[in-house]
Amino acid sequence: MTLLEQSMQNMIEVFHSYVEKDGDGKTLSKKQLKKLLETELPEFLKAQKNPNIVDNIMKDLDQNKDDKLNFEEFVPFVAGLVMACEKCFQKKDKK
Amino acid sequence: MTLLEQSMQNMIEVFHSYVEKDGDGKTLSKKQLKKLLETELPEFLKAQKNPNIVDNIMKDLDQNKDDKLNFEEFVPFVAGLVMACEKCFQKKDKK
């Protein structure tokens, strides 16, 4: 498996490792999203100043308004973060 | 660094490792995209039956029609692939 394939599989497995503790086995509740962010993206979460950040992320991503996040609703969040990170990466390179 | 953070960084680094061989240091030409797909996503490429697949991917992703892919144009491709892979993953689980 290549590095890109492995990275893609990791994204799927990380999401599912938080989902599996739930009943439906496919979606994250807000509580599970919070746990995922605290554990897997601690630096991102620490940098946020808004105390309602998890609520806001949930609201932004929950396209079908069922108060749960499926994988397709979660991926755009990671995609957005990766794009933001890449910009930081380029800025650092210029220094 | 967590597994999710590492996976995100890998995506950025893989993209840049194909970019760096080019002049502008920020974008992939079609030739570089082809090389990236052949090397990093060989299974995906093998599964495609359309001989114009690289041309078609380039056309689909090149939002600003400059015949190059920047990282922001590339991420939706990976995001789409990850979503498709996750569906396969669920199907396999059910078997």
Share of chain A above pLDDT 70, in %: 88
Whether A71 sits inside 8 A of B86 (CB atoms) is yes
3-state secondary structure B4-63: HHHHHHHHHHHHHHHHCCCCCCCCECHHHHHHHHHHHCHHHHHHCCCCCHHHHHHHHHCC
- Residues in B closer than 8 angstroms to A26, CB to CB, are 90
ipTM for this model: 0.90
Instruction: Judge whether A82 is closer than 8 Å to chain B, CB to CB.
Output: yes
pLDDT band at A63 (very low <50, low <70, confident <90, very high): very high
Average pLDDT over residues A20-25: 70
Task: Indicate the CATH number for domain B28-94.
Answer: 1.10.238.10
Q: Chain centroid to CA B23: how far?
A: 20
Per-residue confidence at B25, pLDDT binned at 50, 70, 90? confident
- The pLDDT value recorded for residue A22 is 56
Architecture of domain A3-94: Orthogonal Bundle (1.10)
The pLDDT value recorded for residue A9 is: 95
pLDDT at position B24, please? 80
Alpha-carbon distances of A77 from A33, A49, B7, B8, B44, rounded to whole Å: 11, 18, 14, 12, 24
pLDDT at residue A56 tops 80: yes
Contact predicate B44/B37, CB 8 Å? yes
pLDDT at B59 over 80: yes
